[in-house]
Chain A
């Protein structure tokens, strides 16, 4: 279990947007997908997901609709809006720049200075 990492503050929204961008999901589905893609490396406390989902809906980045889950439960399905898609693109670029920059800094060798 030591391979698991707490997610960085502020990145939960990004992860949710990415997960949902691959197809409509209910809340539990979002968690499953993040867990599946990260191969169980990212841990999100389950309850913490919902305030984030509601916030994204309120910001107009997600839209929600009631549906029936695979094992016959009524569940709310989330989907990206156009604004959500745009935001996801921006956030991803931002994230990649940040990672690249931090990577460069961390990978610096003494002789390069």
Chain B
């Protein structure tokens, strides 16, 4: 019988067994009655007839049992009896039961929590029509010689791919629009935090989604830049902001500062196509220039910003589709205008080929970033569960003596061994399922905490983690497997045929048998070994985070406040904007609490980057095809002083550097090493794009290296340009202001608001945060890993020490008599103490040695997640071993002290 049908029979049985049983009984009785009637008619008395009928029928109970077996209810009946018996056993041993269930709940709960996040990020299908037909279009190619996969396309490319497409039902484009405030006409001050997407108008029809109320986008709402300020909102936002009021249609919703008219509500379970985000609204892609900075991307063919999702035509394979779309793509590429590109860029451009990524579970927004840490965490919790299993198995073994007597009696009375094993397994599975149920509750509570940890520093990250059927199924599967895993060995051992000698002898024999002890010891060693692997991994991750947090990034992260400033929305452009910036800076510099201030295009570790091919560097001859990429930033006066980056040679930008004066630049140490070696770079020139003029930039100074994109990456060669000198074409629309303060930085926020409004009432600072926060946000993953791995390591350590404590204290109880004899013969308390501790420590030491060997072979898989520490870091390993040894000592000492207090007279009478 398959697993499924036996479960069904069992459930049927639980609900219908009374009826089935009654019917069977009734049928057999009616047989007897009819037969008795017949016999009576032949002249027997009624009593005689009924007796005769029974005799003829044969073994009534035996046939009933056979019938039950045929009906499949015998197994189920026994199972139910076993469950009842098991529950009764648990009630009789509440201490054991509580410890076992709690241990299992922690193990299963941790697994369920991590799995529910993996499910949300990686496994759950999108709630759209036939999600398996969806693919994300990307391209694979080389960038400066390194191969990479890109997912962004220009609007032009999207239009062209869509026009020439033969293999997809349709292609749709979208871009993320990050955390914003949304306001309705009624809401006054505080808005609602929302995230949304700009989508092509065929987005919902491609996904096969119909509105709950209202309509989706019309096909002409793509046309005209900024011509269609309409929005479809999510069911969740409709609930949150509008209490599912159907009159929401036609209302205005201001997102950021742009008003949109609500035209429809999306289906309830839909929150976008990118797991990790829960989108609240969608607006036509033609609204981009109104809502996203950086100019009009709709006409720009060089700006890649849209993700593409497509639905395969029925009968077209992904491979076929890729091939055909790539042909179209190559043709479009050749028509691209790349007259203003460098040769390197052109070479890179023609290495690009279309790739299709399956998108049934959504696009890859989060997956790449989180899959490795999540799988690492999954591996860790699996190890915790293994420890939990070993722990409960130890408990089961230790509890054995009481149980063995009972089992030996039952074996002696003729119970089948298989039947007893089944009963013991039923108990352990029941234990695991109870633990699992509690574990699911833990997970229910823990998953949001986990998501909050992951979301730290990821403004847009919102995960829809809820224990759905998949997660519950996973928990059940884990619980069942666990129950069998920890229950099987003790069950086999307890029912070993040799136990069938005499009940009394057997129980003593087995409980104290060397093999039983060996198994217990082995289980403890396993727990300590796995704990060491976990603690060592956690130690390495904690040290990584510490290294990243305390490293010198080339700037001083404390006491710096950042805010974004984009006056273009208030109508300031070009020279007027530059003047406004200078005025604001001037006022800020005079504000109380401000030590120094500046502004720049980019700030370190903001995630943003600006790089460019150096077309030439004076006195440097590149070899053909050499990657001349350098990173850039445009800064205002006092930038390096404000960030605490030292000026090593030459001078900083000053008032003599203006728009129109010779172009000057500062470069970092890495760029000096890269192009000039030991030579003095001051006064040398380098050229960037066409906008850098005929003579290029003159190097006037060298500054210390500043970490650029992330703390982990080595500093790239970087040149700093002066914002005042940037040509119109390269001028950024917004800048970030930096303030070094003498007071807690966030306390400056109100005065900054006042300063901006006193200059122009329409100006507001946005994205106010400290530099330290910005840097910390980049470490969210490291923080997640270090925190969670420490937690799991602690859990492992606790469980393992409970295991060790259990085994040692069981040994002490078992050997009370022996210890008493030793003491009566003159052994001192110290001797007893060291004997007991010594035996426990022996196990711990074996576990630690095995653990070190295991950890050494496992931690190298962590190396890509580590920073500033080797996977085999001796300090970590020594520290971890000492911690474990200390805990083991404690776990052994407590029972050992009890042993040393044994009164020989009492002990000798002890049975």
Contact = CB atoms under 8 A, between A and B. Distances in A.
A71 B27 contact: no
Chain B interface, >50% SS class = helix
B57 A47 contact: yes
B30 A74 contact: yes
B70 A76 contact: no
B59 interface: yes
A14 interface: no
A76 B31 CA distance: 9
Interface residues of A, number: 18
A51 B24 CA distance: 10
Interface string B394-420: 000000000000000000000000000
B71 interface: yes
B375 interface: no
Contacts of A97: none
A26 interface: yes
A12 interface: no
Interface string B13-31: 0000000000110111011
A38 interface: no
A74 B25 CA distance: 12
A47 B62 contact: yes
A46 B69 CA distance: 18
Contacts of B33: 73
Contacts of B34: 26, 28, 69, 71, 73, 75
A46 B57 contact: yes
B35 A28 contact: yes
A40 to B, nearest CB: 14
A3 interface: no
Interface in B754-789: none
A46 B30 contact: no
A73 B58 contact: no
B30 A75 contact: yes
Interface in A40-81: 45-48, 50-51, 54-55, 58, 69, 71, 73-76
Contacts of A50: 24, 27-28, 31, 63, 66-67
Interface string B69-82: 11110000000000
A27 B27 contact: yes
B70 A55 contact: yes
Given A51-B66, A58-B71, A74 B59 contact: no
A76 B27 contact: yes
Interface in B46-67: 56-60, 62-63, 66-67
Contacts of A51: 63, 66-67, 69-70
Interface residues of B, number: 24
Contact of B63 (A26, A28, A48, A74): A48
Contact of A46 (B35, B66, B67): B35
Chain A interface, >50% SS class = helix
A74 B35 CA distance: 13
A28 B66 CA distance: 18
A31 to B, nearest CB: 9
A45 B60 CA distance: 11
Contact of B27 (A45, A55, A58, A75): A75
Contacts of A55: 70
A76 B25 CA distance: 11
Interface in B444-502: none
Interface string B650-681: 00000000000000000000000000000000
Contacts of B60: 47
A75 to B, nearest CB: 5
Interface string A1-43: 0000000000000000000000000111000000000000000
B214 to A, nearest CB: 53
Contact of B71 (A28, A54, A73, A75): A54
B37 interface: yes
Contacts of B57: 45-47
A58 B31 CA distance: 20
B30 A69 contact: yes
B58 A48 contact: yes
Contacts of B72: 58
Interface string B32-45: 01110100000000
Contact of B67 (A28, A45, A54, A75): A54
A70 to B, nearest CB: 9
A59 to B, nearest CB: 10
B152 to A, nearest CB: 60
A71 B70 CA distance: 29
Contacts of A69: 30, 34
Nearest to B56: A46
A75 B34 CA distance: 9
B350 to A, nearest CB: 67
Given A47-B59, A54-B67, A74 B37 contact: no
A56 to B, nearest CB: 9
Contacts of B30: 26, 69, 73-76
B70 A45 contact: no
Nearest to B59: A47
Nearest to A74: B30
Contacts of A75: 27, 30-31, 34
A61 to B, nearest CB: 13
A28 B70 contact: no
A50 B23 CA distance: 12
A68 B70 CA distance: 25
Interface in B877-901: none
Interface string B161-191: 0000000000000000000000000000000
A80 B486 CA distance: 49
Given A26-B34, A58-B71, A73-B34, A47 B27 contact: no
A77 B53 CA distance: 20
A7 to B, nearest CB: 14
B58 A45 contact: yes
Contacts of A46: 31, 35, 56-58
A55 B56 CA distance: 22
Nearest to B35: A28
A47 B30 CA distance: 12
A58 B70 contact: yes
A18 B183 CA distance: 81
Contacts of A27: 27, 31
A71 B67 CA distance: 26
Contacts of A45: 56-58
B54 to A, nearest CB: 10
A3 to B, nearest CB: 18
**Which of B28, B34, B56, B57 has most chain A Cβ within 10 Å?**
B34
B37 A71 contact: yes
19 contacts: A26-B30, A26-B31, A27-B31, A28-B31, A45-B56, A45-B57, A46-B57, A46-B58, A47-B57, A48-B58, A50-B31, A50-B67, A51-B67, A54-B71, A58-B72, A73-B34, A74-B26, A75-B30, A76-B23
Interface of A: 26-28, 45-48, 50-51, 54-55, 58, 69, 71, 73-76
Top 7 A-B pairs ranked by shortest CB distance?
A47-B63, A47-B58, A51-B66, A54-B70, A45-B58, A46-B57, A47-B57
Given A28-B34, A50-B27, 4 more contacts: A26-B34, A54-B70, A69-B30, A75-B31
